[in-house]
Chain A
Amino acid sequence: MQLRISLAAATLLTSMAAQAEDYVSVQYLQYNESENRTSVSAPSIMLNKDFGTDYTLNVNLVADAVSGASETYYDAASGASAYSRGLNINADDVTYGNVEYEDTRVAGGATLITRFDNRDELTVGLNYSSESDFYSAEGSLEYMHWLTNSKNSSLSLGASYQSNEVLVKCNPDSTTSSCDAGSGASEAMTNDAINIQASYFQNINSESYAKVSLFYIGDSGYLTNPYSNVVRNYVEGGTADVVGENRPDARTAYGLSLKYANAITNNFSAHIGYRYYTDDWDIDSHTIDTDFYYEPSSNWLFKLGLRYYRQSEADFYSGEKNYFTNEEFASSDLRLSDFSAITYKSDVEYKISDDWSANLGLNYYDQSSGIDATYLITGVTYKF
């Protein structure tokens, strides 16, 4: 009898958890970097719906409005623009500073999870993203296999293929293109990315679980940032060339991700993650990510988090204007430099009723390269 009651309770809990998966969430991101650099306003919506116990559909849509400025080298005599480039310009006119830009992005994605008789899961995903100068389409597949009848451990294997098109304004210094720089036209360049990940998940006990993942990422094609310039052949008091950067047309990366979650008490839980990344551009990175949840009552949920990130620089990176001469690959894009970053995260969620909840998060991102940003995430979720 006791066993029957326990099984009934377990079934009820499972049923409640399944019902809780149906929701619509509307969120809004406001991201602002200091010194009037990048600002992003991004509303988004996500729908998650179970169809019986065998299928779950998740659909999301986001629209970004991006404006502001980013730093690069340019020829000040031609104005502050990423396209203020030229050969043999006056070295005194070489300037490193903000160039303005704005863009809008619409992106959407959908995943369908199918569960089989043994409760293994197959997830099929599609993603699309469109900007004025960038288009991306992605397809993904992931299979999760339970290793035990008690469903305490599983193996997952997933892969995705992404195809991207980048519209690049014809470049006066291009030696590889027949594109007419004087026409102001753009040419379409392409790149693609393959991402493969294998994961092992384990419930350690009734309060904690862990997951270890190995991943591979292969990028190939046009991987250069068309808005980032470098200075070549700089002669103090003489001339210099300000030209577009040039990156290798392939990148192979491997990494390891470890995640651990523990409900320390009934209303306090901790999530700790670590990621190691390495690629053949000589970039290694370490990321430690933590989130702590506190539920003082059934209506309130508080989250505090801290993330630390450190990366080494790419082997073709230099921020100096007198470094590059005739190297094939050259970039002064800060994102390829050696830096560390800390994110301070906070969030509060309030359950208004059984169906409705609201959330407000305030976060601060501080990068040692000089970039820092405050971002706010707020929204409402309706469960049905």
Chain B
Amino acid sequence: MRTVVTMSFCALFLFTGCVKDVKPWEKETLAKESMKESGTNPLAKKYEEHIYFSKEASRGGNGVAGGGCGCN
């Protein structure tokens, strides 16, 4: 747990140390589908997460909703 907290603070420090106030009319690139966190294909992302969930012992970090499965 201590490792997790330390790494989080390091990441926050790095992110907030170099940010720029992006104006609304400068967000065209950020709004592109290829920049979305979920990727361009949300269903494909769900498939991938389901495969990892069924083949690996760890999970989490991609939001709180996901649904259950008897595959693990």
Binding site for B on A (CB under 8 A): 6-7, 9-10, 13-14, 17, 20, 25, 27, 29, 31, 42, 44, 46, 48, 60, 62, 66, 103, 105, 107, 109, 111, 123, 125, 127-129, 131, 133-134, 136-138, 140-142, 148, 150-153, 158-160, 162, 164, 166, 193, 195-197, 200, 202-207, 209-215, 217, 225, 253-259, 261, 263, 266, 269, 271, 275-279, 281, 283, 285, 287, 291, 293, 295, 301, 303, 309, 311, 314, 335-336, 341, 343, 345, 347, 349, 359, 361, 363, 365, 367, 371, 373, 375, 377, 379, 381
Contacts and interface: CB of A to CB of B under 8 A. Distances in A.
Nearest to A260: B15
Contacts of B58: 253, 255, 277, 279, 283, 285, 287, 311
Nearest to A163: B68
Given A127-B68, A207-B30, A276-B3, A202 B46 contact: no
Given A13-B28, A158-B63, A276-B3, A336 B37 contact: no
Interface size class of B (residues with CB under 8 A): 35 or more
A202 B14 CA distance: 11
Interface of B is mostly: loop
A255 B69 contact: no
B43 A206 contact: no
A335 B64 contact: no
Interface in B1-31: 1, 3-5, 7-8, 11-12, 15-16, 18-31
B68 A138 contact: yes
Nearest to B68: A136
A129 B69 contact: yes
B70 A203 contact: no
A287 B18 CA distance: 25
Nearest to B61: A257
Contacts of B18: 204
Contact of A27 (B5, B41, B51): B41
A380 to B, nearest CB: 11
Given A6-B25, A263-B29, A276 B69 contact: no
Contacts of A211: 37
Closest 6 CB pairs of A and B: A136-B68, A134-B70, A257-B61, A127-B67, A293-B34, A158-B64
A256 B4 contact: yes
Interface of A is mostly: strand
B63 A197 contact: yes
Contacts of B66: 127, 138, 160, 195
Given A25-B41, A60-B46, A336-B57, A152 B51 contact: no
B65 A377 contact: no
A347 B41 CA distance: 10
A111 B65 contact: yes
B35 to A, nearest CB: 5
B67 A129 contact: yes
Contacts of A269: 32, 34-35
Given A293-B40, A367-B55, A13 B61 contact: no
Contacts of A285: 56-58
B35 A256 contact: no
Contacts of B70: 103, 105, 129, 131, 133-134, 136, 164, 166
Given A25-B41, A138-B68, A206-B27, A335 B57 contact: yes
